[in-house]
């Protein structure tokens, strides 16, 4: 099937192979975006036509199949069209990994949970088209606690907590966590106790299990940025 024509006033470039995601956006025609056109982003970003990219109102990237691949697509689009509004699509709380979220926010992407209602999605897209960032998420209690620093701008504390939680999920002892993160054993113990309180874990084993169930298990992860500039909302450029 040929992709839709890049003609209507609101054109959304979509990176997703899931039919349900396409249907979600085409369904917005009955909720305030009657002339929305959804055009598929090719798997190879360099095959995306320059004219189509220049005429696009926004781009949406489905993170469900491959979050790291989605972040790469986001960065490739940002490099080619720095002013293009980009939204990362999440499908459920379990898909939220704060490390991924931090990277997306650093790259200037908005985030939209596909549990949003059609009216919420329309408002989000219209806000993005006007130059504002959007953050629409449904999170578990523990995830909200861990993301609080990102949303308030205290990125360094959050980055350290996330790394400690990732390493706990890998079964590493305190002295190895401290060596990797250049923290004292006392500081590592303090972070772990605070994390247990935040997620309601009775012990280290429950904390590690919670981390794995909520997307913090990161085999092969070696480093996360210590400080990330996060801007959750900004006013349109005048």
The CA–CA distances, whole Å, from 3 to 11, 39, 41, 46, 52 equal 12, 5, 9, 17, 11
Q: b vs e for 60-89, b when ≥16 Cβ sit within 10 Å of the residue's Cβ?
A: bbbbbeebeebbebbbbbbeebeebbbbbb
Q: What is the pLDDT along the chain (238 residues), one digit of tens a residue?
A: 444 434 457 999 999 999 999 999 999 999 989 999 999 999 888 899 899 899 999 999 998 878 878 888 999 999 999 999 999 998 865 665 666 777 787 788 998 988 889 999 999 998 998 888 888 876 655 555 556 555 555 545 566 777 888 888 888 999 999 998 888 989 999 889 888 887 778 899 988 888 777 666 654 444 333 333 223 333 444 3
Q: What is the pLDDT of residue 163?
A: 81
Fold classification of 141-213 (topology level):
Arc Repressor Mutant, subunit A (1.10.10)
pLDDT in tens, 125-165: 989 988 888 888 766 555 555 565 555 555 455 667 778 88
Name the residue ranges covered by the structural domains of the chain: 10-136, 141-213
Please say whether the structural domain 10-136 has been given the CATH code 3.40.50.2300.
yes
């Amino acid at each position: 099937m040929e992709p839709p024509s890049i003609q209507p006033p609101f054109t959304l470039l979509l990176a997703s192979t899931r039919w349900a995601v396409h249907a979600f956006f085409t369904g917005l025609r009955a909720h305030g975006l009657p002339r929305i056109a959804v055009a598929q982003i090719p798997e190879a970003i360099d095959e995306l036509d320059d004219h189509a990219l220049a005429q696009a109102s926004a781009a949406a990237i489905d993170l469900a199949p491959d979050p790291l691949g989605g972040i790469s697509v986001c960065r490739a689009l940002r490099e080619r069209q720095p002013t293009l509004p980009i939204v990362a699509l999440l499908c459920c709380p379990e898909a939220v990994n704060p490390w991924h979220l931090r990277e997306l926010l650093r790259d200037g992407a908005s985030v939209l949970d596909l549990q949003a209602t059609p009216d919420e999605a329309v408002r989000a897209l219209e806000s993005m088209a006007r130059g504002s960032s959007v953050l629409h998420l449904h999170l578990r209690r523990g995830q909200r606690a861990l993301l609080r620093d990102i949303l308030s701008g205290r990125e360094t504390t959050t980055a350290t907590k996330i790394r400690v939680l990732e390493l706990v999920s890998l079964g590493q002892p305190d002295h190895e966590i401290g060596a990797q993160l250049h923290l004292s054993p006392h500081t590592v113990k303090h972070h772990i106790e605070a994390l247990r309180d935040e997620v309601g874990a009775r012990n280290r084993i429950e904390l590690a299990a919670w981390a794995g169930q909520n997307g913090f298990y990161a085999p092969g992860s070696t480093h996360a940025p210590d400080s990330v500039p996060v801007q959750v909302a900004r006013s349109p450029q005048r």
